[in-house]
C-alpha cells in the first residue's frame, strides 16, 4: 500500500490532516501513547481505542530483547501479537543509544548496547535495525539515528548529526532493497542538530534529500530547557516538506504539544500521560492534580465533570485518592486512562481550533492544564 498524507485545514503554520496507513487513517495532529514492550501499561487495546487512541508506538530495542523480533514475526507480527488492529510506529532504538550511554559503545558502523535484561551485547546497525523492524511489522518504522548526549555541545552535536545522515542513507538503501513502502511499512528519517539552528537546517536538507513518506524531529526533550526545545522545533519543523507528515519524537507536556502544533507538527509520542498516571498525577483543564494530597480525601467530585473516561464517569476524587493511598493497582490504571483521554481531548481541541482559525485562543487554557491545579499541594 502507498502511504498518503493530506493537509486539510491550516491556521498559520498549524494544520489538520489525514495520514493513511495499511491499518487505518490517523487524523492529525495526533498523540501516540507509548507501548514500549507491545503494551501500554495497564490499558488494553479496546480501552485504548475507546479513549481515542488512533496509533501506538512500540520500541524496537526492548522488543528485540524480549520476546525477540523473530518470535513476533512467527506469531503474525506486532499487530496480531499485541491485539491492536490500528497503526503502529516502531522507534529504532536510537533513543536507547542516548539513554543507555553507560551500556553503549558507538562506532561508525553502528552501536553495541548491553541488554538491560541479562547484560548480553546487542549489535545495532542501520541494516540490522531495518531487519528488526521488518520482523516486527509496524506501519511506520524509524531510521537508526545518533542522538547526542549534550544538545549544546556543538562538536558532539555536529558529529552525531552527520553520523545520523550516514546511517539514514544505509537505512534507506536497505528499506528500498526490500520493497520500500510497497511492503506496508513507511520509513521516516530523523532530523538532528541539537540546539543549533544552522545544524537543524543542515540536517533537514540532508534527511529530506531522501524522498521518504515522512520525517521526524529528534534530539528534543533530552535535558535542555523548554526555551531551547521550542527553538529546535521552530528551527526544523517549518523547513520539512509540507506534503509529508511531521513527527516530533518524545514530546511532551500539553504546552509542548501545543507549541509544536503551532509550528506545523502532526504526530507526537511521550510517556508523560501514562507515567504521571502511575505516579498518581491527573491532568485536567484546571491544572494537574496530585491525588495523594489530603485535599481530595472527602471530595465527591470526579476529576473533571465533562470527561467521559472510566475514572470520571464512575468514581470520585475521594475514591481515587483511597486507591492511591492503599497502593491499589486500579489507581494507576484509572489515572492512566484519564490522562490518555485528556491528551486525546487536548489534541481534539487543537484540531477543532485550527479548523476554526482560532488556535491562539487555546494557549492560556493549555498552559493552565499543565500547571499544578488549585490546592494540588506539592508534587
| Residues annotated as part of the active site | 91, 269
Same domain, 18 and 85: yes
Domain-embedded: residue 377: no
Same domain, 158 and 63: yes
Residue 310 lies in domain? 276-370
Same domain, 284 and 261: no
Domain-embedded: residue 379: no
Same domain, 224 and 343: no
Tell me the mean pLDDT in the region 76-82: 98
Domain-embedded: residue 378: no
pLDDT at 362: 97
**Residue that terminates a domain, selected from 270, 287, 320:** 270
pLDDT at 217: 98
pLDDT digits (tens, 9 = 90+) for 214-249: 999 999 978 788 898 999 999 999 999 999 999 999
Of the candidates 189, 221, 222, the residue with the CA atom closest to the CA atom of residue 203 = 189
Peptide bond into 350 cis (omega under 30): no
Tell me the mean pLDDT in the region 71-95: 97
d(CA 135, CA 242) in angstroms, rounded, equals: 31
Name the packing angle between helices 197-208 and 226-236 (round to 10°).
40
Domain-embedded: residue 133: yes
**Residue that terminates a domain, selected from 270, 302, 325:** 270
Domain-embedded: residue 178: yes
pLDDT at 291: 98
Tell me the mean pLDDT in the region 80-109: 94
Same domain, 168 and 195: yes
- Taking the CB of residue 205, how many other CB atoms lie within 10 A of it? 12
Same domain, 46 and 175: yes
pLDDT digits (tens, 9 = 90+) for 312-337: 999 999 999 999 999 999 999 999 99
Has residue 154 got a pLDDT over 70? Answer: yes
Same domain, 266 and 280: no
**Residue that terminates a domain, selected from 216, 238, 270:** 270
Domain-embedded: residue 376: no
Tell me the mean pLDDT in the region 118-136: 96
d(CA 218, CA 216) in angstroms, rounded, equals: 6
Same domain, 285 and 261: no
Cell of 51: 479513549
Same domain, 200 and 227: yes
Has residue 2 got a pLDDT over 80? Answer: no
Same domain, 144 and 58: yes
Has residue 379 got a pLDDT over 50? Answer: no
Mean pLDDT of the chain: 95
Residue 45's contacts (CB-CB under 8 Å, 6 or more residues apart) are: 82, 83, 84, 85
**What CATH number has the domain bearing residue 99?**
3.20.20.105
Has residue 377 got a pLDDT over 80? Answer: no
Same domain, 242 and 366: no
184-198, 212-226, 244-258: least confidently modelled range = 212-226
Tell me the mean pLDDT in the region 190-213: 98
Domain-embedded: residue 257: yes
pLDDT digits (tens, 9 = 90+) for 302-315: 999 999 999 999 99
**Domain count for the chain:** 2
pLDDT digits (tens, 9 = 90+) for 31-49: 999 999 999 999 999 999 9
Q: How far is CA 177 from CA 180, 182, 187, 227, in A?
A: 7, 11, 13, 41
Domain-embedded: residue 176: yes
54-68, 258-272, 365-379: least confidently modelled range = 365-379
d(CA 16, CA 350) in angstroms, rounded, equals: 9
pLDDT at 372: 80
At residue 148 the predicted structure's pLDDT band, cuts being 50, 70 and 90, is very high
At residue 1 the predicted structure's pLDDT band, cuts being 50, 70 and 90, is low
Same domain, 281 and 263: no
pLDDT at 378: 40
Has residue 375 got a pLDDT over 60? Answer: no
pLDDT at 374: 59
Cell of 24: 487505518
Amino acid at each position: 500500500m502507498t502511504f498518503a498524507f493530506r493537509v486539510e485545514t491550516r491556521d498559520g503554520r498549524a494544520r489538520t490532516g489525514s495520514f493513511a496507513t495499511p491499518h487505518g487513517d490517523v487524523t492529525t495532529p495526533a498523540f501516540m501513547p507509548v507501548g514500549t514492550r507491545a503494551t501500554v501499561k495497564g490499558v488494553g487495546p479496546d480501552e485504548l481505542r475507546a479513549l481515542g487512541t488512533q496509533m501506538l508506538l512500540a520500541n524496537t530495542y526492548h522488543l528485540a530483547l524480549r520476546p525477540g523480533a523473530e518470535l513476533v514475526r512467527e506469531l503474525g507480527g506486532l499487530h496480531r501479537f499485541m491485539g491492536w488492529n490500528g497503526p503502529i510506529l516502531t522507534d529504532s532504538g536510537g533513543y536507547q543509544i542516548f539513554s543507555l550511554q553507560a551500556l553503549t559503545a558507538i562506532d561508525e558502523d553502528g552501536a553495541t548496547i548491553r541488554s538491560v535484561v541479562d547484560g548480553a551485547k546487542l549489535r545495532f546497525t542501520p541494516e540490522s535495525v531495518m531487519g528488526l523492524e521488518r520482523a516486527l511489522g509496524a506501519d511506520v518504522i524509524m531510521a537508526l539515528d545518533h542522538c547526542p548526549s549534550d544538545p549544546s555541545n556543538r562538536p558532539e552535536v555536529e558529529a552525531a548529526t552527520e553520523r545520523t545522515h550516514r546511517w539514514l542513507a544505509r537505512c534507506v538503501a536497505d528499506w528500498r532493497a526490500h520493497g520500500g513502502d510497497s511492503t506496508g511499512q513507511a520509513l521516516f528519517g530523523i532530523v538532528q542538530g541539537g540546539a543549533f539552528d544552522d545544524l537543524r537546517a543542515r540536517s533537514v536538507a540532508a534527511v529530506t534529500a531522501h524522498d521518504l513518506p515522512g520525517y521526524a524531529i529528534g534530539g528534543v526533550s533530552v535535558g535542555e530547557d523548554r526555551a531551547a526545545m521550542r527553538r529546535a522545533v521552530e528551527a526544523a519543523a517549518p523547513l520539512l516538506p509540507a506534503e509529508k507528515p511531521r513527527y516530533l519524537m518524545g514530546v511532551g507536556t500539553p504546552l509542548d504539544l501545543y507549541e509544536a502544533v503551532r509550528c506545523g507538527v502532526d504526530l507526537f509520542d511521550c510517556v508523560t500521560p501514562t507515567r504521571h498516571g502511575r505516579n498518581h498525577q491527573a491532568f485536567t483543564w484546571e491544572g494537574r492534580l496530585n491525588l495523594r494530597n489530603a485535599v481530595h480525601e472527602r471530595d465527591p467530585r470526579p476529576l473533571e465533570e465533562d470527561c467521559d473516561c472510566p475514572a470520571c464517569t464512575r468514581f470520585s476524587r475521594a475514591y481515587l485518592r483511597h486507591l492511591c493511598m492503599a497502593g491499589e493497582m486500579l489507581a494507576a490504571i484509572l489515572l492512566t486512562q484519564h490522562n490518555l483521554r485528556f491528551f486525546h481531548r487536548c489534541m481534539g481541541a487543537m484540531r477543532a481550533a485550527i479548523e476554526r482559525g482560532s488556535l491562539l485562543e487555546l494557549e492560556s487554557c493549555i498552559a493552565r492544564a499543565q500547571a499544578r491545579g488549585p490546592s494540588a499541594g506539592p508534587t
